[in-house]
Amino acid sequence: MPKSMVSVTIDGRTIEVEAGSNLVDASFKAGVQIPHYCYHPRLSIVGQCRMCLVKIEGVPKLQTGCTTRIMKDGMVVRIDDQEVRAAQEGMMEFLLINHPLDCPICDQAGECALQDYSFKHGQAFSRFSYEDKRTYPGKERIPLGPNVVLNMNRCIQCTRCVRFTEEISQTGELGFFQRGSRTEIGVFPGKELDNPLSTCVVDICPVGALTSTQFRFAERVWYLDKTPSLCTGCDAGCNITLEHRQGKIRRYKPRTNVEVNDYWMCDFGRTTFLSYEEDRLTTPQQRDAQGRMRAVTWDQALSSVHHFLVDGAAMGTVGIVARGAATTEEAYLLRLLADSLETPHRGVLREPGPVRSIPNLNGGLTGREITPNRRGALLAGLGPAGLGPEDSEASADSATSPGEAEKILGGAVNGAHSVLLIFDGGRAGSDNALSRPAALESLRQAQTVVVLGWASTALTQVADIVLPIATHAETEGTLVNSQHRLQKFERAFLPPSGVRTGVEALSDLVGRLRSDFAAQTVSEVFDLMAGETPSLEGISLAGLPAGGIQLPVPPE
């Protein structure tokens, strides 16, 4: 049944909201902010910090906005009000009695609600004696678990972290200990804060009490540039803000998307960018007559690849294999390459991994593969030959898929596929399908192996030509997650000199095979793909909403 709508006026701005809406949430819709610490839209309401006091017409005393639901039509709320301002200043004064006034050395400075509200809603003086400030000697640096460190002096006792472990991660490691002004946060005896979502407590802590082991004191946050992106740690496709400085990623933070990861992301995903610093490839390489890898120019490398592919195609021995780390646009270009070479041997690897679960309002999101975009590659037509893009997705998106890519790799042993073009592009490491001894042994039997990747790996050791391509931070594109949601990510910074994006490298190769091919940019490649994919009809990369779009789910 559709919910009834009611109107509410907040500081003179009238909006319509669903009956029962929370007043703090409604204020954001009205473009007004009710300051708050303990309220979080996904946690139970405790009305604890008293920072959200508002005046409601017809109600004699100030009310906490976070505990107020808008039930009746015509509610009138004032935040820009003398009495409300006095209450906010009073609350700030109380909070700062015991809080260290040392923002310059606090890791949260620049993104701290206490600091921000102090400027916006506080006052420049305190009536309390600083000598009596409460402190927790020896509790400035307490590891709560492997990923989170507590500085008890900075805690404002909002209980967000406690409620998170009770209600979201449902692991219940954290609690309040002691009473009154000695109240402190801690882990229960024998426990540590070690659950797959544990670093989310750092995100929701409004002050600098909880810091992430990986990021604490690594960077001043005002130096960071922020780019909307996607986590590539698995196929859940969590939305993230990629925070970077001078071409280096410093941290991932969850970006809210209620249809996908809501406000959260997993601890594993937060670390995945660290591998981007490992053994970076920065120049194309080709094996010489003596079997040694030599640096060559891009043109030399691409001319050689073109030559090997055309010769291999003439003998019917070309295979094209991608990991599900390729973007949808890169996969589409691989498919055009396979079409131009008229090889039916093309496929994307299925790489199952640990199950990663993210809670959301729709019952949760699950990632089960170590690459983020196998479904996007199938959508782009990199599935079984002879099938259109969506048919190949439907036919291959099950655990019992024929494993075309795996067959192609295996075929190198008996000479069926002696020229192999492999698009790696995923995280380095020893846990992927292309680093396993059997796959590498099989590849050693092939006549020519071309690898596109960004890191020097066991795979590039067996390659004859290596093309260095950009990481996902250095390019843009789309990925299709485990729930078949097409989402885009933006380029955060340029790749190192000598490195091209996968789309640039593959467009060049397709252009050498097809004189009518002119697409250069990710956006142009997306348009070509959308032109022949019914579920993408009418969609452009620029027009794709920030939260992505849900594609039809093929039958299992």
Which residue, 99 or 345, has its beta carbon nearer to ligand FES?
Answer: 99
The whole-angstrom separation of Cα 334 and Cα 530 is 15
Asked if 536 and 525 touch (Cβ cutoff 8 Å), the reply is: no
49 binds ligand FES (CB under 6 A): yes
For 166, which DSSP code? I
At its nearest, how many Å lie between ligand SF4 and the CB of residue 381?
A: 24
268 binds, among ligand FES, ligand SF4, none (CB under 5 to 8 A by kind): ligand SF4
| C-alpha of 28 from chain center | 24
Which residue, 40 or 485, has its beta carbon nearer to ligand FES?
Answer: 40
Which residue, 47 or 110, has its beta carbon nearer to ligand FES?
Answer: 47
The whole-angstrom separation of Cα 200 and Cα 40 is 13
Determine phi and psi for 70, rounding to 5 degrees: -90, 100
Which residue, 20 or 552, has its beta carbon nearer to ligand FES?
Answer: 20
Measuring CA to CA, which residue among 367, 375, 158, 404 is closest to residue 265? 367
At its nearest, how many Å lie between ligand SF4 and the CB of residue 482?
A: 9
Q: What's the first-to-final CA gap in the chain, in angstroms? A: 31
- Helix, strand, or coil (residue 73): coil
- Helix, strand, or coil (residue 28): helix
At its nearest, how many Å lie between ligand FES and the CB of residue 35?
A: 8
Which residue, 269 or 425, has its beta carbon nearer to ligand SF4?
Answer: 269
48 binds, among ligand FES, ligand SF4, none (CB under 5 to 8 A by kind): ligand FES
Which residue, 56 or 158, has its beta carbon nearer to ligand SF4?
Answer: 158
Of 48-56, 370-378, 420-428, 524-532: span binding ligand FES (CB under 6 A): 48-56
237 binds ligand SF4 (CB under 6 A): yes
207 binds ligand SF4 (CB under 6 A): yes
Size of the site for ligand SF4 (CB under 6 A): 26
* Position among 161, 242, 309, 450 found at the interface with ligand SF4 (CB under 6 A): 161
The whole-angstrom separation of Cα 269 and Cα 390 is 29
Question: Which amino acid is residue 371, in one-letter code?
Answer: T
CA dihedral 380, 383, 389, 390 (to 10 degrees): -120
* Position among 21, 22, 68, 159 found at the interface with ligand SF4 (CB under 6 A): 159
87 binds ligand FES (CB under 6 A): no
* Position among 7, 48, 357, 535 found at the interface with ligand FES (CB under 6 A): 48
Residues 315-374 that bind ligand SF4 (CB under 6 A): 356, 358, 367
- The CA–CA distances, whole Å, from 216 to 37, 458, 479 equal 21, 33, 30
* Position among 17, 21, 26, 39 found at the interface with ligand FES (CB under 6 A): 39
The whole-angstrom separation of Cα 42 and Cα 44 is 7
At its nearest, how many Å lie between ligand SF4 and the CB of residue 198?
A: 12
Token pair listed for 540: 């452009």
Q: β-pairing, 239-245 with 225-230? A: antiparallel
CA dihedral 258, 260, 262, 267 (to 10 degrees): -170
Site residues, ligand SF4 (CB under 6 A): 155-161, 185, 205, 207, 209-210, 231, 233-234, 236-238, 261, 265-266, 268-269, 356, 358, 367
Binding site for ligand FES (CB under 6 A): 36-39, 47-52, 64, 66
